[in-house]
Amino acid sequence: MVTAGAHDAISAKLVEVTGFDAVWVSSFGLSAAQKSMPDANVLTMTESLEAAKNINAAVTIPVIADCDNGYGNALNVMRTAQEFAAAGIAGISIEDATFPKRCSLYGGKHDLVSTEEMAGRLRAAKEATREHPDFLLIARTEALIAGLGLEEALHRADAYAAAGADALLIHSKSKSAEEVLAFTRRWKGGKPLVVVPTMFPNASVEQLHAAGFSIIIFANQALRAAVTAMRNQLSKLRQEGRAEVINGSIAPLPEIYDLVGVPEMQRREESFLPPEKTPTTSAVILAAGFEPELLPLTEKAPKTMLEIKGKTILDRQLHLLRSVQVPDIAVVRGYQSGAVNPPSVTFFENKNYESTGIAASLLASEPHWKERTLVLYGDILFDRAILERLLTAPEADLLLVMDRSWGDRPAETPVPPGTELVLTEEGAEKGVRFLSSEKPLKIRQIGQKIPAAQASGEFIGLARFSHQGLQWLKSAAAAAGPKADLADLLTGVIQAGHPVHALEIYKGWLEVDTVEDYRKAWAKL
């Protein structure tokens, strides 16, 4: 069995995917990676257990945890063994160092507990894990590390095997494998042997296996590889100040996604989450037309680019749409299209804006139509609440926002050109209701032919169309001719027997059709 040390869950995952048989949860690695501290019993048992659990959850191969000296005497060892076994860890290693220990590889003094005391730790560990007969207990002797010699190592290994250890780890920091190989030649204990070839790195797996080692632990190479890679790439990144310089030398993002199980997460989302209920919604802003009424303001740019208090009408619309989570926005350009260039927007062109109506602009945006499409005239300003109501209003294939404050106008006021009046099935109900209806009202007629005094309200230039609704509009467009405006198409749809609805509002919007409107907009915003 060949294992490699891990210091966290992702390094353990890499140990698994590169083909090792088991993960070694290294105390050296955990102390360094999780706390940036020396490997000297500074991590508590529970901290090590927590790390081992995270690692165990991330891999399917067995996990062997380095439990140092078991964090105390035999009684501490009991709890350690019991907790690790209960957590589903495949095995632990307990060494005969005193508590607190220091890493075997550091220079200086290495104190060991007596053989008898260590045997007691092992018997205690076995007793504590009686209910986990497959739990692997590795007894590690530091006799060679402490300079006590081969005979002492053999004597201790024999005693630990007799105390119930399932395997013996013979640790050495000799520069050559000879020290541990000499042990194997003398070992008659019958139990499997474990080795950590850190200080004698030229010893191969084949050689160590052939000499009688059953488990070979490459304990800290993953940590050291990570440190080298992180140091190199970070210093390059710091120097150059641009991520691109290291992009080719670091794991591509999809590799990380795969390692942490994003594909599995997506499968689970599909299996267990309710399907997305809110339909996908896009928005189309119709801003192709040229209106001479606003000259000279519109000499160089269309109306939608008029600035009101430092922000164009278009920017205000984009901001509002994004604030209600409709980021998928298209703008249909025509007149002075070069002047309409906001970022993160899809553009469509109505090059024949001079000879066509608004219907042609809408049709030009067809590739942008979604399950639901909001359609906005490029010259209107409105409250966010209106947009929110439109988005949450009950299903309707063609839903126009209608302002019923129209009915408040003195009867003799002339109807501004281009006003699209709406007559609902309920009629004008002038002055009857003060609260807008939540329920969309069915529209009987739309357009300038409605006598002003009979109109239920005015279409404000904001609508919500379903895919079906847009198909009806498209069919109506074929019959309506190139100059059709939206009211013409909607009239065609109504005549074809399909429903068109109005969502009532009361004020909260304004339109910029004239220089006078423009002045009012400044005053109101």
**219 contacts ligand SPV (rule: CB under 6 A):** yes
Please tell me which residue in 8, 21, 39, 488 is annotated as part of the active site.
39
**428 is written with which tokens?**
């004008």
**8 contacts ligand SPV (rule: CB under 6 A):** no
Taking CB within 5 to 8 Å according to partner kind, which of Mg ion, ligand SPV, none is near residue 220?
Answer: ligand SPV
Sign of dihedral through CA atoms 80, 83, 86, 90?
negative
**220 contacts ligand SPV (rule: CB under 6 A):** yes
CA atoms of 287 and 382, how far apart (whole Å) = 16
Minimum separation from the CB atom of position 19 to Mg ion (A): 23
**485 contacts ligand SPV (rule: CB under 6 A):** no
Using CB under 6 A, which of 69, 80, 104, 172 touches ligand SPV?
A: 104
Nearest to 140 by CA among 161, 162, 109: 161
**236 is written with which tokens?**
């390059």
Residue nearest to ligand SPV (CB): 26
| Identity of the residue, 67 or 505, whose beta carbon is nearer to ligand SPV in the bound complex | 67
CA atoms of 101 and 99, how far apart (whole Å) = 5
| Identity of the residue, 112 or 450, whose beta carbon is nearer to Mg ion in the bound complex | 112
Secondary structure of 360-373 in the HEC alphabet?
HHHHHCHHHCCCEE
Tokens 């020396």 locate to: 38
* Cβ–Cβ < 8 Å for 215, 194: yes
CA atoms of 319 and 384, how far apart (whole Å) = 10
| Identity of the residue, 3 or 27, whose beta carbon is nearer to Mg ion in the bound complex | 27
**31 contacts Mg ion (rule: CB under 5 A):** no
For 204, residues 6+ apart whose C-beta sits below 8 A from its C-beta are none
Q: Which helix (H) or strand (E) holds 213?
A: strand 213-218
Q: Beta-strand (E) ranges in 184-234?
A: 193-195, 213-218
Q: DSSP character for 226?
A: H
**105 contacts ligand SPV (rule: CB under 6 A):** yes
**504 contacts Mg ion (rule: CB under 5 A):** no
Using CB under 5 A, which of 66, 397, 420, 511 touches Mg ion?
A: 66
**172 contacts ligand SPV (rule: CB under 6 A):** no
CA atoms of 465 and 282, how far apart (whole Å) = 10
**28 contacts ligand SPV (rule: CB under 6 A):** yes
**27 contacts ligand SPV (rule: CB under 6 A):** yes
**304 contacts ligand SPV (rule: CB under 6 A):** no
Which of the stretches 54-62, 103-111, 273-281, 320-328 binds ligand SPV when contact is defined by CB under 6 A? 103-111
**Amino acid identity at 450:** I
**356 contacts Mg ion (rule: CB under 5 A):** no
| Identity of the residue, 9 or 196, whose beta carbon is nearer to ligand SPV in the bound complex | 196
Residue nearest to Mg ion (CB): 27
* Cβ–Cβ < 8 Å for 522, 309: yes
Which of the stretches 24-32, 238-246, 256-264, 347-355 binds ligand SPV when contact is defined by CB under 6 A? 24-32
**103 contacts ligand SPV (rule: CB under 6 A):** yes
**483 is written with which tokens?**
């100059």
**66 contacts ligand SPV (rule: CB under 6 A):** yes
Which of the stretches 83-91, 102-110, 490-498, 506-514 binds ligand SPV when contact is defined by CB under 6 A? 102-110
**39 classed as catalytic:** yes
**Amino acid identity at 299:** E
Backbone φ and ψ of 181, nearest 5°: -65, -35
Minimum separation from the CB atom of position 203 to Mg ion (A): 19
Q: Which region holds residue 194: left if phi is over 0, alpha if psi is between -120 and 50, else beta?
A: beta
**Amino acid identity at 183:** F
Strands 213-218, 193-195: pairing is: parallel
- Could you give the string, one character per residue 189-208, with x where binding to ligand SPV holds by CB under 6 A and - elsewhere? -------x-x----------
* Cβ–Cβ < 8 Å for 452, 415: yes
**27 contacts Mg ion (rule: CB under 5 A):** yes
Taking CB within 5 to 8 Å according to partner kind, which of ligand SPV, Mg ion, none is near residue 172?
Answer: none
Which of the stretches 28-36, 200-208, 354-362, 424-432 binds Mg ion when contact is defined by CB under 5 A? 28-36
| Catalytic machinery residues | 39
Interface contacts to ligand SPV, rule CB under 6 A: 5, 26-28, 39, 66, 103-105, 196, 198, 219-220
